[in-house]
């Protein structure tokens, strides 16, 4: 793997170099700022790029825009935990960055020990996803088109309205924020149930994300920072750095933030969210949507929704930044249907009777 690390701080460059000292299969080149990065982009032709946002001469956002135009490459942003840093991170994701890692101590962080493992995982995940996509394109294979062959029974099921559904659950990670926003933007009119989302993010970032979604989407979007009842037609986003669990009190479905549990490696945990929903709600009354992301968070639990009579969607590999989570759901025979990201809102509305069912020929 050819890895380009764009960082203006000499101290940070040293810390990053040391963190990759044992990675024998990675060739590393550094760039001091955005201008230097664009030169290295052509000379080094990296497979993956990590980039700071705040840099002299040319900042990370401007550089990222040029990279997406000149030689589209997976880019992971190194972000500060300031309000300005979180806002800039979402701008980077909209420009085409695949993911981000939050620096624990702000713009210049000597102690990266708490995020080095995360950084390495995300770099390798971005590289693997990019390599897989290039292989498919070279072979002319449309991934996932044959992941599940529709039987006549499945075809009927996909168009079946589910008026009794009580809760729609969305699990998302790497590459997910833009897909989540797209899904919510496409839902217009009264939505007959609440939507609860677990998007892997650190603290502060989910606050900014909820605000951006609320401004962009027809439905109200609320960050779950305290126990709250779930109301139809509203979207609830799990708070970063914690988990969210589903409860039932006085016959009302509740979402409650809880401290993260070490047995669940990603947070907010999709597994924990879906597990607690299954404990309080009949699976037949749940809809699960698994979006792009590395790892397998939530795949076992969301597969149970499908296997117990509910319905689930797995995002297709072609439209996923990283096919870990939806891929694992498919492997576990847990996906009712596999769809490109752009087709997910339509299927959700079809299940809920918000659009007319597709008429199929008897033959």
Domains of the chain: 2-139 (3.40.50.2300), 153-351 (3.40.50.180)
Query: Among 62-66, 348-352, 358-362, which stretch is predicted with the lowest mean pLDDT?
Result: 358-362
213/219 Cα distance (integer angstroms): 9
Tell me which of 83 and 219 has the higher pLDDT.
219
What's residue 131's pLDDT? 84
Q: Any residues with CB less than 8 A from the CB of 69 and at least 6 apart, and which?
A: none
Structure tokens at 183: 């899904």
355/353 Cα distance (integer angstroms): 6
What are the distances in angstroms from CA 79 to CA 17, 101, 109, 180, 322? 18, 6, 11, 21, 20
Structure tokens at 9: 């701080």
| Banded pLDDT at 106 (limits 50, 70, 90) | low
Q: Any residues with CB less than 8 A from the CB of 86 and at least 6 apart, and which?
A: 79, 204, 205, 207, 208
What's residue 13's pLDDT? 87
Residue 163 pLDDT > 80, yes or no? no
Structure tokens at 83: 């309000």
What's residue 10's pLDDT? 86
CA-based nearest residue to 287, from 153, 178, 160: 160
Residue 304 pLDDT > 60, yes or no? yes
Task: Report the pLDDT averaged over residues 131-136.
Answer: 75
Tell me which of 23 and 356 has the higher pLDDT.
23
56/272 Cα distance (integer angstroms): 42
pTM of the model: 0.88
The residue behind tokens 């030169």 is 39
Query: Among 134-143, 175-184, 230-239, which stretch is predicted with the lowest mean pLDDT?
Result: 134-143
Query: Among 11-15, 147-151, 351-355, which stretch is predicted with the lowest mean pLDDT?
Result: 147-151
What positions carry a catalytic annotation? 173, 200, 297
Per-residue pLDDT tens over the stretch 210-263: 999 999 999 999 999 999 999 999 999 999 999 999 999 988 999 999 999 989
53/61 Cα distance (integer angstroms): 6
Instruction: Report the chain's mean pLDDT, rounded to a whole number.
Output: 88
Structure tokens at 74: 């997976």
What's residue 135's pLDDT? 72
Residue 202 pLDDT > 50, yes or no? yes
206/106 Cα distance (integer angstroms): 17
Report the largest interatomic distance among the alpha carbons of the chain, rounded to a whole angstrom.
69
Counting every residue written for the chain, the total comes to 363
Tell me which of 71 and 22 has the higher pLDDT.
71
Query: Among 39-53, 95-109, 275-289, which stretch is predicted with the lowest mean pLDDT?
Result: 95-109
CA-based nearest residue to 353, from 206, 209, 161, 177: 161
What's residue 157's pLDDT? 46
Residue 329 pLDDT > 80, yes or no? yes
What's residue 143's pLDDT? 42
Residue 355 pLDDT > 80, yes or no? no
| Banded pLDDT at 91 (limits 50, 70, 90) | very high
SS3 letters across the chain: CEEEEECCCHHHHHHHHHHCCCCCCCEEEEECCHHHHHHHHHHHCCCEEEEECCCCCCCHHHHHHHHHHHCCCCEEEEECCCHHHHHHHHHHHHHCCCEEEECCCCCCCCCCHHHHHHHHHHHHHHHHHHHHHHHHHHHCCCCCCCCCCCCHHHHHHHCCCCCCCCEEEEEECCCHHHHHHHHHHCCCCCCCCCEEEEECCCCCHHHHHHHHHHHHCCCEEEEECCCEECCCCEEEEECCCEEEEEEEECCEEEEEEEECCCCCCCCCCHHHHHHHHHHHCCHHHEEEEECCCCCCCCHHHHHHHHHCCCEEEEECCCCCCCCHHHHHHHHCCCCCEEECHHHHHHHHHHHCCCCCCCCCCCC
């Amino acid at each position: 793997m050819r890895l380009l690390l764009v960082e203006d701080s000499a101290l940070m460059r040293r810390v990053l170099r040391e963190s990759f000292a044992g990675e024998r299969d990675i060739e590393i080149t550094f760039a001091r700022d955005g201008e230097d990065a664009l030169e290295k982009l052509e000379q080094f032709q990296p497979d993956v790029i990590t980039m700071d946002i705040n840099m002299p001469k040319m900042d990370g956002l401007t550089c990222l825009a040029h990279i997406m135009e000149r030689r589209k490459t997976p880019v992971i942003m190194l972000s500060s935990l300031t309000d300005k840093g979180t806002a800039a991170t979402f701008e980077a994701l909209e420009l085409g960055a695949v993911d981000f890692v939050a620096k624990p101590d702000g713009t210049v962080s000597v102690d990266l020990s708490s995020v080095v493992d995360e950084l390495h995982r995300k770099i390798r995940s971005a590289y693997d996803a990019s390599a897989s996509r290039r292989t498919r394109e070279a072979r002319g294979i449309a991934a996932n088109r044959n992941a599940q062959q529709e039987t006549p029974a499945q075809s009927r099921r996909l168009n079946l309205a589910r008026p009794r559904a009580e809760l729609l659950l969305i699990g998302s990670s790497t590459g997910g924020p833009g897909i989540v926003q797209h899904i919510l933007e496409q839902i217009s009119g009264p939505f007959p149930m609440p939507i609860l989302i677990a998007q892997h993010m650190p603290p502060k970032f989910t606050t900014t994300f909820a605000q951006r979604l609320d401004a962009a989407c027809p439905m109200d979007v609320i960050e779950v920072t305290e126990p709250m009842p779930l109301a139809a037609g509203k979207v609830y986003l799990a708070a970063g750095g914690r988990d969210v669990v589903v409860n039932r009190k006085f016959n009302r479905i509740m979402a409650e933030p809880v401290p993260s549990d070490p047995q669940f490696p990603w947070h907010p945990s999709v597994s924990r969210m879906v597990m607690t929903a299954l404990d309080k709600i009949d699976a037949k009354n749940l809809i699960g949507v698994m979006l792009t992301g590395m790892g397998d968070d939530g795949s076992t639990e969301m597969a149970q929704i499908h296997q117990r009579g509910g319905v689930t969607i797995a995002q297709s590999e072609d439209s996923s930044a990283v096919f870990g989570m939806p891929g694992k759901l498919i492997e576990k025979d847990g996906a009712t249907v596999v769809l490109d990201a752009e087709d997910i809102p339509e299927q959700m509305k079809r299940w809920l009777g918000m659009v007319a069912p597709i008429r199929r020929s008897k033959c």
